[in-house]
């Protein structure tokens, strides 16, 4: 082989090796390109959140036994005399003047309520649960008394009509200090307990059901003491979006406001 031929052969070989190397680098670069990976993971998240939204759009807000049931001034508990079959007295401090019914909540609420009250106590808050379950007959009794004292229109403003109280679901309760500081008063919101509950209740599956400034939506004045169980998933969602339960359901397309 002449020197010239060797030179040509070496050049061709060098070019071939260089070309293969470039192709290899180009391909591996393409596969590892960050954009490609990012797009695929974004796609997965989109699919997940769509499925999640779809699942939530099937929340049962009509059945009294559903933990998502919507009860407000235009949605009554059905049947009228509904009474949860799983009422229990949770291992928390309850008001001694309350009846056994009022000291009760549904079994599905029990452990979350106990955990929240334990953690509140660890924060130095001496809380007591008031008015858990309220039966149709006791709602009638209270409402009729309000009517006798203040007249029908006034009574409607500060009390639910019988059968329209969320307390009848066994998923709601009122909280107060043992010493009754700001008991069922707006000033409870400004106490250490009121603030702690507003900031933390969702972690245990509860929402502050009647927030400030949302009277026209919830139908109730601000009640910083009234909490409602929804479970951690939905409660966290409602809390983070800063919505009332009505607004949340409206966003899911389940009700119209």
Residues that bind Zn ion (CB under 5 A): 174, 226
Residues 6 or more apart from 69 whose CB is under 8 A from it? Answer: 60, 61, 62, 63, 77, 169, 171
Nearer to Zn ion, 174 or 237 (CB): 174
Q: Which residue is nearest to Zn ion (CB)?
A: 226
Which residues are annotated as catalytic? Answer: 223
Nearer to Zn ion, 56 or 177 (CB): 177
Task: Please report how close the Cβ of residue 174 comes to Zn ion at its closest, in angstroms.
Answer: 4
Nearer to Zn ion, 174 or 246 (CB): 174
Asked whether the beta carbons of 36 and 123 are under 8 A apart, the reply is no
Nearer to Zn ion, 202 or 226 (CB): 226
Three-class DSSP category at 86: coil
Task: Please report how close the Cβ of residue 123 comes to Zn ion at its closest, in angstroms.
Answer: 22
Residue 103's Cβ-count burial label (10 Å; 0-12, 13-18, 19+) is buried
Asked whether the beta carbons of 89 and 175 are under 8 A apart, the reply is no
Task: Please report how close the Cβ of residue 156 comes to Zn ion at its closest, in angstroms.
Answer: 16
Q: Are strands 87-89 and 104-106 parallel, antiparallel or unpaired?
A: antiparallel
| The two structure tokens encoding residue 142 | 């209270």
Task: Please report how close the Cβ of residue 173 comes to Zn ion at its closest, in angstroms.
Answer: 7
Task: Please report how close the Cβ of residue 151 comes to Zn ion at its closest, in angstroms.
Answer: 22
Residues 6 or more apart from 208 whose CB is under 8 A from it? Answer: 197, 198, 201, 223, 224, 226, 227
Residues 6 or more apart from 257 whose CB is under 8 A from it? Answer: 217, 246, 247, 250
Please tell me what DSSP assigns to residue 170.
Answer: T
As a whole number of Å, the end-to-end CA separation of the chain is 91
Nearer to Zn ion, 67 or 169 (CB): 169
């Amino acid at each position: 082989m002449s020197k010239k031929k060797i030179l040509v052969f070496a050049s061709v070989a060098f070019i071939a090796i260089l070309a293969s190397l470039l192709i290899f680098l180009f391909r591996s670069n393409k596969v590892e390109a960050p954009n490609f990976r990012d797009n695929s993971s974004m796609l997965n998240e989109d699919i997940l959140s769509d499925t999640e939204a779809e699942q939530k759009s099937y929340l049962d807000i009509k059945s009294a036994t559903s933990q998502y049931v919507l009860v407000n001034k235009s949605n009554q508990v059905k049947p009228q005399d509904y009474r949860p079959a799983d009422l229990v007295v949770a291992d928390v401090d309850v008001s001694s003047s309350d009846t056994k019914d009022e000291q009760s909540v549904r079994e599905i609420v029990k452990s979350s309520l106990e955990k929240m009250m334990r953690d509140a106590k660890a924060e130095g808050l001496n809380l007591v649960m008031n008015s858990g379950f309220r039966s149709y007959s006791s709602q009638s009794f209270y409402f009729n008394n309000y009517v006798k004292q203040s007249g029908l229109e006034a009574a409607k403003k500060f009390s639910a009509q019988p059968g329209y109280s969320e307390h009848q679901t066994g998923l709601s309760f009122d909280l107060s200090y043992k010493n009754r500081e700001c008991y069922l008063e707006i000033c409870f919101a400004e106490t250490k307990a009121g603030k702690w509950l507003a900031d933390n209740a969702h972690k245990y599956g509860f929402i502050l059901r009647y927030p400030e400034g949302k009277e026209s939506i919830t139908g109730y004045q601000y009640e910083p003491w009234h909490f409602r169980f929804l479970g951690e998933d939905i409660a966290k969602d409602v809390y983070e979006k800063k919505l009332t339960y009505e607004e949340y359901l409206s966003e899911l397309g389940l009700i119209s406001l």
